[in-house]
Structure 1
């Protein structure tokens, strides 16, 4: 397996496919998944001639189940070590949900020449949790509920989420994919229950406002108005306002997991942005 070992001794698993001299695209997965969540996009962009890379965040997938470091600063530092080890330059970083927060924190701190563009898909920035400075956010009690359910019976929680709101399978007339549900469960159960628990705080309470203001590369923000996991009104429109060079692409009725349910819509949109 492809593994890097970070400064604190954590082994991070990654995939690295395609010509090493091609422009790299780095994919950042959501909670509590793994690099496998990007199967469709990895194959699509590989066929378009790109070098495609995806890693399992610490505590997730095939990476080490660490006791600590399950927060955004360490996630971004791990990405920095991966990028440095592979010497990736002029890369496009694509993040979904929690991975969008990871991309935001990494790109804001990346060295010049490392990043060409970024794509945030149904991503958590600027900040999810409701507080005085974010009155439209999701109440903390919602995330407390996720934590309680995860600690009590994560195997059931990891069935309930993809069976319902994540892929929009709870919507009338939805075409349910049993394969997507089972694959979500498989990925989630590969990871650490502790990392999954602590990552909820990371994705819900981290404030990316200052990171977004710092980013000067072009950023495509993709979000659906029917996202039941990361509410649209408190995320994408606010993110674009904070970016120096942001473009918003809104879909009306796609689910949070739109990369898996509707890749035929999302993939060409990303490709056009990269090529523009």
Structure 2
């Protein structure tokens, strides 16, 4: 059973910690669907002895209670409450895939607490000028997001059925998104360390219900509750140019909007190439140049 804190609205927020208790704190925000186990492989954690890793289950996932109607901005309030409970001063935030917009929320809404943020393979907000949101996106994702926008009840029913199948066999999730996987993605997720992490992640994330998955998608497709252009903290945007789950146009739009963005584009990378980029990204997150303010 993971540790947990009680939020002001009564929800339980489940979290775990790894690494050096006195090290540089880095809060990890998982993907969609996901949980506290699904951001950084254990071998990467073990190779960073001076880092205190803190990961939590977003509302509705794993052992965290649901927060119906939540927006992406809710992540900033949850992270702030978790940081307060753990006695953190300033800290870094890393979000990958569906966790990346939630990491950007922390950058936007917690400017006095957050040192640096890394948003890896992030989507852009759904209502943006100068971006065709679905261009370059895998058919499976286009279908899922379109259904969420046009028939949310049917969308929720279908996702609940998928979640039940994933609970029985977590590999079902990877099979269902195969149309969007690049050759490099297939190579990466077939390695034992990554495969074990992802399967454990999917099983635990959907163990109690599909609510986290449903609410994540609805939040990502609604107004995020903040404007990326108003972010003042340093943000590293990492992206794979071949990504079809978060197409490269989203990365390019965010890079234009975020004032202190540091864009890093892997020309050959797909969605899961972010896992191979983690060591360099963590090095940047944990650095302390004077220019960060």
Relative to the length of structure 2, the TM-score reads 0.78
Deviations 1:58-105 (A, max 9, x none): 1111212x2624332333321221122223223110011221111111
Partners of 1:241 and 1:35 lie apart in 2 by: 30
1:143 shift after superposition:
0.9
The 5 Å alignment of 1:169-188 reads 169=181, 171=183, 174-175=186-187, 177=190, 179=196, 182-188=199-205
Provide the residue aligned with 1:271 in structure 2: 283
1:242 shift after superposition:
1.2
Partners of 2:184 and 2:100 lie apart in 1 by: 28
Partners of 1:79 and 1:173 lie apart in 2 by: 30
1:10 shift after superposition:
0.7
Q: Quick one: structure 1 residues 250 and 197, their matched pair in 2 at CA, closer, same or farther if it must change by over 3 Å?
A: same
Provide the residue aligned with 1:9 in structure 2: 10
Q: Which has the higher contact order (CA 8 A, sep 6+)?
A: 2
Provide the residue aligned with 2:213 in structure 1: 196
Provide the residue aligned with 2:243 in structure 1: 227
Greater shift, 177-186 or 12-21, is seen at 177-186
Q: Quick one: structure 1 residues 115 and 28, their matched pair in 2 at CA, closer, same or farther if it must change by over 3 Å?
A: same
Provide the residue aligned with 1:143 in structure 2: 145
Matched residue SS, 1:238: helix
1:120 pairs with 2:119: yes
Greater shift, 92-101 or 146-155, is seen at 146-155
Provide the residue aligned with 1:214 in structure 2: 230
Q: Quick one: structure 1 residues 269 and 172, their matched pair in 2 at CA, closer, same or farther if it must change by over 3 Å?
A: closer
Provide the residue aligned with 2:129 in structure 1: 133
1:77 pairs with 2:86: no
Q: Quick one: structure 1 residues 75 and 174, their matched pair in 2 at CA, closer, same or farther if it must change by over 3 Å?
A: closer
Partners of 1:212 and 1:41 lie apart in 2 by: 31
1:244 pairs with 2:254: no
Gaps of 5+ in 1: none
Partners of 1:57 and 1:166 lie apart in 2 by: 25
1:103 pairs with 2:103: yes
Matched residue SS, 1:120: strand
Greater shift, 6-15 or 35-44, is seen at 35-44
Partners of 1:41 and 1:32 lie apart in 2 by: 19
Greater shift, 15-24 or 55-64, is seen at 15-24
Provide the residue aligned with 2:152 in structure 1: none
Deviations 1:82-139 (A, max 9, x none): 1222232231100112211111112211152x111100000123x1x4x573551128
Partners of 1:240 and 1:153 lie apart in 2 by: 34
Relative to the length of structure 1, the TM-score reads 0.82
Partners of 2:69 and 2:75 lie apart in 1 by: 7
1:30 shift after superposition:
1.0
Paired residues of 1:32 and 1:188 also in contact (CA < 8 A): yes
Q: Quick one: structure 1 residues 192 and 70, their matched pair in 2 at CA, closer, same or farther if it must change by over 3 Å?
A: farther
